[in-house]
Amino acid sequence: MTVQSINPAAAAETTLRAAAAKAGLFFGVAANPNRLYPIVGQEFSQLTPENAMKPDTIATSSGGLQNTGGADQLVNHAQSNNMLVKGHTLVWHSQAGQLQGASQGTLNNFIGNAINRWGSRIAYWDVVNEALEDNNTGRRRNQWPHTMNRDANGDGDVFDSGDTDVIRDSFIRARQVVQAGGFTTKLCINDYDVEGLTVRGGTPNRKANALYDIVRNYRQYIDCVGFQAHFNDNPNSIITDDLQANIQRFADLGVEVHISELDIDDDLSNNDIGAGQAENYRKVVRACLNVAKCTGITVWGISDSESWRSSERGLLFTGGNGSYQKKAAYNAVLDELNRGRTTTTPPPTTPPVTPSVPPTTPPVDPTTPPPTTPPVTTTPPNPTTGCTATVSLNSWTGGFVATVRVTAGSARINGWSVQLTLPSGTTVTNAWNANRSGTSGTVQFSNVSYNGAVNAGQSTEFGFQGTGTATGLTPVCTAS
């Protein structure tokens, strides 16, 4: 049952920050030092420096700091207006400035200097930004700093303890600095075109799945995930109906999810910046509000004319230079925030997932512990051969997301399949990290090219989304 979390008779708030606070999240804006108009503190409760904390502005070639005046101004402004700050960004292939081509040691030096300079005045840091390729390949980028990655054992990933992974190593360094300083700062990974489970045409969102694997494997270091949400008419950048399900999928790992750089191209509403664009904003905000661990939304600028994508007219205001006019999208967002979150009968949650090979650094307790509800159903364990499978569900009225974990027995397996018999009326609408034989009744899921080989005692995961209910599933795992 779905119930509105606020009293419908309660007086509506008149600013985005007040309405968001009542709903239990922040509503923020990206800003530059020359645009700290009164509206910033009046309407928004969180601030992300749009450019002033990027390495090309503040990093020296040795990983030291320089030119921090603009960043300091933004942090001071936020503090004086009771706003959270998200630092953006520490490790990025673009706008790297003097850090371009630097070693991991130099990156670690910069990470330490930046985190220590502002300490807990920064509530969140984007530690790694845009690590994954464009065009829905699901692969890491092939330019610096990701050229430092090394797959030592040749198993097709860089998650193992002997591998070199700039993502893992950067987060380990950031976690060490936060702990040593006693800071409350949370550590985020941020990317775009990762918002839905699918892209246009129903194709699985392989980029989102790759990000999910990163967060799942490095959960002990990562506190939060940013979905940039630069929505436009690129097939991989549209607003899909499974946005909420994907937010929930990440939330079930125990991390906070942020809509971190939101703007919505008017092409998605046939160039209508009135009711059409407003409805698109309403969908995105509601998807966040419906997931408890979606804890913040940040728009990437104040007005269309001041946006990095000004021709696409994707923000909440027109006007500029401190004189702004609210668009229909503003009113839609304010209305959704005033409606508040919804609550549902709590579904089973995904259990914490152990990386396929333990990390070399001892795990660090995350700020927010991952869910601890055990899997819903299991195959009777066979401790010596073959494989076993467990299913965890996140359910809502009329739909669900299932996560299936396949574990090898005492011997390595080179392939696997999992058979599930779905309840009558239940249909699979999407799957990731597995092939499937059908959409209803008895469905066979089998490994794809990159996850068939599983070492003894280790695990891999796949998932699927469906309509109807999925209670009582009993998976049958077969190894090859």
Residues carrying an active site annotation: 130, 261
**Nearest alpha carbon to residue 376 among 362, 394, 363:** 394
At which residue do the structure tokens 């995930």 appear? 225
Strands 84-92 and 323-326: unpaired
Structure tokens at 136: 């829905």
Whether the CB-CB separation of 113 and 181 falls below 8 Å is answered with no
CA 400/CA 467 separation, integer angstroms: 6
DSSP character string of 102-168: --HHHHHHHHHHHHHHHGGG-SEEEEEE--B-STT---B-SSTTGGG-B-TT-SS-S-STTSB-HHH
In the chain, the N- to C-terminal Cα span, in Å, equals 43
Tell me how crowded residue 362 is: count the other CB atoms within 10 A of its CB.
7
Beta bridge partners of residue 88, listed in sequence order:
126
Query: Per-residue b/e over 394-408, b at no fewer than 16 CB within 10 Å?
Result: bbbeebbbbbbbbbb
Largest CA distance in the chain: 70
Strand order in the sheet with 377-378: 377-378, 387-396, 399-408, 459-467, 427-432
CA 42/CA 330 separation, integer angstroms: 14
